[in-house]
Amino acid sequence: KLLLYHINPISVVDRYGIVGQGGMNNYNGKVLTRGSNQVRSRFVKKNGQCNVVFNNMEEKRQRYLADMFTTCVDIRWRYLLLLFCTSFMVSWLFFGIIFYTASLAHGDFEEMPCILHVQGFVGALLFSMETQTTIGYGWRCVTEECPVAVITVVIQSIVGCIIDSFMIGIIMAKMARPKKRNQTLMFSKNAVISLRDGKLCLMWRVGNLRKSHIVEAHVRAQLIRSYVTAEGEFIPLEQMDLNVGYDEGTDRLFLVSPLVIVHEIDKDSPLYTLSRADLETDDFEIIVILEGMVEATAMTTQFRSSYLAREIFWGHRFEPVIYEDRDRYKVDYARFHKSYEVPSTPHLSAKELDEAANLIPRSLGAFCYENEVALSCGEEEDDIFDSSQANLLMLISLCSLPTRPFQVQSLTVAAAVLVLIKNGIKIPFSQIT
């Protein structure tokens, strides 16, 4: 009888070497220490906003004013409406002053005026507003006595058209922005890692709450983590792509119902060496991006979210949300964020699983899975698995259950455990009887 206990190591402190003033340091320069209880700051918030603040930008105002249209589209509505009203008021006031000055210089208040029925500044301001907005009450009008007034009317009409076009264009562009379309797109609150077709996979769910489609929808994912190069250079935010099916085209989505996005953790994945114990202590962030065109406006929209390591559930799967009801399908969004635990999920990394799968000879694979905490060989042939890889995954799964013993009654299984230990696969145990 062989009793094995799995103990998950927990690292207390994560240390990152940073390049000092002397260049390459081999961790002998400045060291940043982060306690395990300190929460990592998000690079991208759950609502998709980037948690980045720009400081010490040279000529920031000049750069923003050089791209005035984009600046006006990006500002908040309250400031845009304030700019809208201010631009017209300044224009009316400016040309009103010109009309008043021309009337005053011409002596309109005593002789034949340049502008009829303008007896002061208020009248000049009203005439300016009537001219630019083409109200045309018919009471105030310019005469031929003053060429300056005629030229000013022409210039104000042109300036008024320019202001109208500019402001209408900005407001239309701001109203047509697909930013609000993101309010009806959603990612699951958590991601999960579990087996799918015998491979460890990172999965998360995406859904569209509107009946209108996202045309040419596709997804991307990136892993962001701190990294120290071989030369000692500290990279605080290294970005690495996670393959979600670029080669096979599965990153292209027909987003009518909620879909589960799958990243297979293979040898090309940055998560290849990640185990359950590492997930509990690691410090990284996964950014997920959904892009596509809004069906109504054909404008491109991008929806973002992120998952920290603590928001990824190891050994879980998402609950089904779609089911057939008579002649149609129904989606239950109450289950969109829910997942359930799969106890048989191995706790080892994908790399360790691949290495272990190649170490077990086929002759050592005659054992079967009985329950979560026990292995025993069935007496009937129907109870015996033929796949050595499946047997190994079950063995490793049971070895990885924390602080829970399991019993091995088969000599063949015990031999398999010894092969694992001999080839350097770590299987923690507290006692052997």
Assigned architecture for domain 68-175: Orthogonal Bundle (1.10)
Asked if 347 contacts 194 with a C-beta cutoff of 8 angstroms, the reply is no
In CATH terms, the fold of domain 183-341 is Immunoglobulin-like (2.60.40)
For residue 65, which amino acid is it? L
Tokens 């025993």 sit on residue: 376
- Phi, psi for residue 179 in degrees, rounded to 5: -60, -40
Question: Rounded CA gap, 204 and 190, in Å?
Answer: 7
Q: List per-residue pLDDT tens for the chain, 433 residues long.
A: 333 333 333 333 333 333 333 333 333 333 333 444 556 678 888 877 888 888 777 777 787 777 777 888 888 888 888 888 888 888 888 888 888 888 787 776 666 677 777 778 888 888 888 888 877 767 777 776 778 888 888 888 888 888 888 888 888 888 877 777 888 899 999 999 999 998 999 999 999 998 888 999 999 999 998 888 888 889 888 899 999 988 888 889 999 999 999 999 999 999 999 999 999 888 899 999 999 998 888 888 889 999 999 999 999 999 999 988 888 899 999 999 999 999 989 999 999 988 887 765 443 333 333 333 333 333 333 443 344 444 555 555 545 444 333 444 344 455 556 555 655 555 555 434 4
- Alpha helix ranges (H) inside 213-265: none
Query: Where does residue 124 rank: exposed (0-12), middle (13-18), buried (19+ CB within 10 A)?
Result: buried
Instruction: DSSP for 5-62, please give it.
Output: -B-----SEEEEE--BTTB--TT-S-EEEEETTSPPPPSB-TTS-B-----S-TTHHH
Helix axes of 350-357 and 388-399: crossing angle, nearest 10 degrees: 130
Tokens 């002789």 sit on residue: 111
Coil vs helix vs strand at 378: coil
> What are the boundaries of each domain within the chain?
68-175, 183-341, 350-422
pLDDT at 38: 57
Query: Where does residue 107 rank: exposed (0-12), middle (13-18), buried (19+ CB within 10 A)?
Result: exposed
Question: Rounded CA gap, 402 and 405, in Å?
Answer: 8
- Phi, psi for residue 307 in degrees, rounded to 5: -130, 125
Paired sense of beta strands 406-408 and 374-376, if any = parallel
Q: Which residues contact 141 (CB under 8 A, 6 or more apart)?
A: 115, 116, 117
Asked if 115 contacts 99 with a C-beta cutoff of 8 angstroms, the reply is yes
- Alpha helix ranges (H) inside 177-321: 276-281
pLDDT at 20: 35
Question: Rounded CA gap, 220 and 149, in Å?
Answer: 61
Q: What angle is formed at CA 390 by the lines to CA 413 and CA 423, rounded to 5 degrees?
A: 55
Q: Distance between the two ends of the chain, CA-based, in angstroms?
A: 6
Q: Which residues contact 321 (CB under 8 A, 6 or more apart)?
A: 257, 258, 331, 332, 333, 335, 336
Q: Which of 433, 391, 427, 398 is nearest to 412 (CA)?
A: 391
Extract the tokens encoding 69.
């249209």
Helix axes of 77-106 and 121-132: crossing angle, nearest 10 degrees: 120
Query: Where does residue 311 rank: exposed (0-12), middle (13-18), buried (19+ CB within 10 A)?
Result: middle
Tokens 């829970």 sit on residue: 404
pLDDT at 51: 82
For residue 182, which amino acid is it? N
